[in-house]
Amino acid sequence: MYLGKKIEKNNVKSMRMKQILLLLILIGTFGIGSAQTFNNEKKIDFYSPSKGIYIVDINTKTCKDCIKPYISDSLETVEMVAEKTKSTVAINAGFFDPINAKTTSYVIKDGKLGADPTLNSDLMNNPNNQVYIPGILNRSEFRIEDCTLNTGSTARIYEIARYNDLPQMKCDIVHSIQAGPALVPEFKLYDEVFVAEKDGKIVKESAGALGKYARSAIGIRGEHILLVAASNESPMTLQELADYMKSLNVNQAMAFDGGSSTSLYANLPDRPKFILTSAKDNSARRVKSILLVKSDN
């Protein structure tokens, strides 16, 4: 009789231990879920999902009007500009000519054209470029637009479109920054003249499109803007970059300038002063246009 009660008592104790263990597992799971929900509400999140790849996640719902382009009068490093403008995050963006320091990408800032590649005579007058100029000037751009709704209120939208594409009805472009090619939903490597073929042979290749290099990109996933930088530790072709952006479940994505220009600056409470540079000597390359994020706006 005593032995039976002892066994029963041990069984109850064992059952209680299992219940406690299950409860701890549920609490742990709930805790993780809560943390993920909290992160989704953060203005800016920064993480590295794998070696050499860094992602900045900007929640446009909580970080309103915090993304703006920057155009250098000459050329400056991403870090220099970020610290000068007191930005939280900065990433290299449009293409430029490192010899004459002029842009080869359009940039609109505060509704005004701030960088115009047609004013770059070295680009426009190069006889080797003439047949490709229409495609080069019509490459993809990241746009921030203010749209008037039927109610009369204004909504801010983010999209990636070709330069010649008109904004949506009742929408005005506030900021835009051009680079390319488009990566998602369609990969526009040939349409945007990053690669051109003639008689089955490649006759033009821009931005090291077919080689493995450090890369920068931007993607739109619902209300979130993702800035992605792949360092020299994880170089990619543009096709591989397109595949990677698709894996992030973005609705739209495009590449920024890459290679030695790939630079990322982030200064967040949980990741103070992270700086990525991609030049072979680990120095920071000076660039023409930069996308800035200011979380205090």
Could you report the per-residue pLDDT of 35-68, keeping only the tens digit for each? 333 345 789 999 999 999 999 999 999 998 999 9
Q: Check whether residue 14 and residue 57 sit in a common domain.
A: no
Contact 201, 117 (CB under 8 A): no
Whole-number Å distance between alpha carbons of 67 and 46: 16
Q: Check whether residue 141 and residue 165 sit in a common domain.
A: yes
Q: Check whether residue 153 and residue 10 sit in a common domain.
A: no
Contact 56, 226 (CB under 8 A): yes
Q: Which of 5-14, 133-142, 231-240, 251-260 has the lowest mean pLDDT?
A: 5-14
Amino acid at 193: V
Q: Check whether residue 134 and residue 240 sit in a common domain.
A: yes
Beta bridge partners of 236: 213
Domain count, the chain: 2
Q: Cis omega before residue 181 (within 30°)?
A: yes
Q: Check whether residue 5 and residue 128 sit in a common domain.
A: no
Rounded to the nearest integer, the mean pLDDT of the chain is: 87
| CA distances for 99 relative to 103, 116, 287, angstroms | 11, 17, 11
Q: Which residue is it, tokens 């991609």?
A: 278
Burial class for 213, CB neighbours closer than 10 Å (0-12, 13-18, 19+): buried
Q: Check whether residue 249 and residue 133 sit in a common domain.
A: yes
Amino acid at 297: N
Residues in the chain: 297
Mean pLDDT of 253-276: 94
By residue range, what is the domain housing residue 67? Answer: 43-293
pLDDT of residue 38: 36
Q: Check whether residue 29 and residue 58 sit in a common domain.
A: no
Q: Check whether residue 36 and residue 181 sit in a common domain.
A: no
**DSSP symbols for 229-288:** EE-TTS-B-HHHHHHHHHHTT-SEEEE---GGG--EEEEETTEEEEEE--STTSPPPPEE
Beta bridge partners of 67: 293
Give every CB contact of residue 93 below 8 A, 6+ residues apart in sequence: 69, 105, 107, 177, 179, 216, 256, 257, 287, 289, 290, 291
Burial class for 141, CB neighbours closer than 10 Å (0-12, 13-18, 19+): buried
Q: Check whether residue 91 and residue 150 sit in a common domain.
A: yes
**pTM score, whole prediction:** 0.85
**Residue-wise pLDDT tens digits, 161-196:** 999 999 988 999 999 999 999 999 999 999 999 999
| pLDDT surpasses 80 at 282 | no
Q: Check whether residue 93 and residue 137 sit in a common domain.
A: yes
Q: What b/e string do you get for 249-259 counting C-beta neighbours within 10 Å, with b at 16 or more?
A: ebebbbbbbbb
Q: Check whether residue 25 and residue 50 sit in a common domain.
A: no
pLDDT of residue 284: 79
Mean pLDDT of 111-134: 96
